[in-house]
């Protein structure tokens, strides 16, 4: 299918992009990597009247490190995160980027686009929530900062106003003091995760953020997890996840997700604590 007719705008500055969006109201949309938006437009699930292309705005891409932590421009491609030397102290970033889709998707898709799209199975929403990251958001005449945890409010739903653009993501330096791991289950390599978990390990205390489990990233902590025996760990994770009640869909049941979320959390923990053979992804043959 083809999208409905729309006006295409290639702005020469962020100010111009914000002015066009402000005028377009709910009829306006920004185009980042186009990896989610363009298929949705082709299926006519989204019908913007005005499409504002962020690709000409080179200042929106790039990864910088300063005393406070890291600043990743919203238009930074997943592939750029995969190979960024500046992010070496936070290896979970490159490990996460490698789990997203295929090379062609990582080469076009952007960090800001993934957050704004808010797919419940997307890795960045969960990882950046776990890292305590914030987003810088611009609108005509102003800016605001909000936590990624507050940005994503539900499936494909964010706290962004239609005239707002995410300009960057900030990760606090403190995140690098902890150990991190990630594990997800997919049907085929490159697919969206059926369920996945990010583990943050601070001494014996562990916090997990799951993706593909609920409508938005789900975070739970188990203090003293590192001191527990194997059976106690599984029981503690089951307890932590009680009441989540994930949805069933055409791929797997909610009960399957709830069960496999425990395995994903254990593997993410093993990844964080040095057994990298257990991190990454596993294929579900269902
Ligand atoms: C086959 C396939 C497999 C995929 N697998 C995965 C996967 O495993 N994991 C995963 O996380 N993703 C996956 N994706 C999605 C991919 O990561 C997309 O890149 C991402 O979800 C959207 O980013 P984008 O830059 O392409 O945004 P676009 O598609 O251009 O935009 C998506 C939405 O975000 C809005 N938007 C974009 N940028 C901004 C901004 N800076 N400020 C405000 N709003 C903005 C757009 O208006 C639009 O509504 C897959 C996609 C495909 C096609």
Same domain, 151 and 184: no
> Does 159 contact ligand 1 (Cβ within 6 A)?
no
Q: Whose CA is nearest to atom 44 of ligand 1?
A: 116
Instruction: Tell me, yes or no, whether 2 lies in a domain.
Output: no
Q: Give the other-Cβ count within 10 Å of 8's Cβ.
A: 10
Q: What is the pLDDT of residue 275?
A: 82
Rounded to whole angstroms, the Cα distance separating 14 from 52 reads: 10
> Does 138 contact ligand 1 (Cβ within 6 A)?
no
Residue 1 pLDDT class (50, 70, 90 cuts): confident
Residue with tokens 């929530």: 129
Position 72 pLDDT exceeds 80: yes
Please tell me the total number of residues recorded for the chain in this structure: 286
Same domain, 183 and 229: yes
> Does 196 contact ligand 1 (Cβ within 6 A)?
no
> Does 117 contact ligand 1 (Cβ within 6 A)?
yes
163 closest CA partner among 140, 181, 146: 140
3-state secondary structure of 24: helix
Q: Give the other-Cβ count within 10 Å of 11's Cβ.
A: 19
Same domain, 99 and 201: no
CA of 61 to the centre of ligand 1 (A): 15
Number of domains in the chain: 3
CA of 35 to the centre of ligand 1 (A): 5
Rounded to whole angstroms, the Cα distance separating 133 from 168 reads: 10
Share of the chain above pLDDT 90, in %: 94
Out of 141, 174, 207, a domain closes at: 174
Task: Please give the structure tokens belonging to residue 269.
Answer: 């923990």
Q: What is the pLDDT of residue 285?
A: 79
Same domain, 117 and 203: no
Domain span including residue 131: 58-174
Residue range 206-228, pLDDT digits in tens: 999 999 999 999 999 999 999 99
Rounded to whole angstroms, the Cα distance separating 74 from 17 reads: 14
Out of 159, 174, 189, a domain closes at: 174
Report angle CA 80, 82, 86 to the nearest 5 degrees. 75
CA of 157 to the centre of ligand 1 (A): 13
Q: What is the pLDDT of residue 146?
A: 98
Task: Please give the structure tokens belonging to residue 77.
Answer: 């491609």
Q: Which CATH number covers residue 34?
A: 3.30.43.10
CA of 203 to the centre of ligand 1 (A): 35
Same domain, 42 and 140: no
Q: Which of 75, 77, 101 to mutate to test the pocket of ligand 1 (most atoms within 8 A of CB)?
A: 101
Q: What is the pLDDT of residue 242?
A: 94
Same domain, 63 and 144: yes
> Does 35 contact ligand 1 (Cβ within 6 A)?
yes
Report CA Rg, the chain: 19
Q: Which CATH number covers residue 160?
A: 3.30.465.10
Residue range 262-286, pLDDT digits in tens: 999 999 999 999 988 888 889 987 6
Residue range 105-132, pLDDT digits in tens: 999 999 999 999 999 999 999 999 999 9
pTM of the model: 0.97
Instruction: Tell me, yes or no, whether 1 lies in a domain.
Output: no
Residue range 128-183, pLDDT digits in tens: 999 999 999 999 999 999 999 999 999 999 999 999 999 999 999 999 999 999 99
């Amino acid at each position: 299918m083809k999208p409905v007719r729309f006006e295409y705008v290639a702005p020469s500055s962020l100010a111009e992009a914000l002015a066009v969006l402000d005028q377009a109201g709910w009829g306006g949309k920004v185009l980042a990597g186009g990896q989610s938006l363009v298929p949705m437009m082709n299926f006519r699930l989204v019908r913007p009247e005005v499409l504002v292309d962020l690709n000409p705005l080179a200042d929106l891409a790039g990864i910088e490190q300063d005393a406070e932590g890291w600043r990743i421009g919203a238009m930074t491609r997943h592939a750029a995160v995969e190979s960024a030397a500046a992010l070496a102290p936070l290896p979970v970033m490159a490990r996460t980027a490698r789990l997203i889709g295929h090379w062609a998707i990582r080469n076009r898709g952007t960090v800001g686009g993934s957050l704004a799209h808010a797919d419940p199975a997307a890795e960045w929403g969960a990882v950046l929530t776990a890292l305590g990251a914030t987003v810088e958001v611009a609108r005509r005449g102003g800016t605001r900062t909000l936590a990624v945890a507050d940005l994503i409010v539900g499936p494909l739903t964010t706290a962004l106003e239609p005239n707002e653009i995410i300009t960057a993501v900030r990760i606090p330096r403190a995140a690098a003091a902890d150990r991190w791991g990630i594990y997800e289950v997919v049907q085929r390599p490159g697919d969206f995760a059926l369920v996945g978990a990010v583990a943050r390990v601070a001494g014996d205390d562990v916090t997990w953020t799951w993706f593909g489990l609920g409508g938005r990233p789900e975070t739970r902590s188990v203090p003293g997890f590192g001191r527990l025996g194997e059976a106690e760990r599984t029981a503690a994770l089951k307890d932590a996840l009680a009441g989540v009640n994930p949805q069933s869909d055409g791929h797997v049941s909610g009960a399957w997700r709830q069960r496999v979320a425990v395995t994903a959390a254990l593997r993410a923990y093993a990844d964080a604590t040095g057994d990298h053979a257990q991190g990454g992804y596993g294929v579900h043959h269902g």
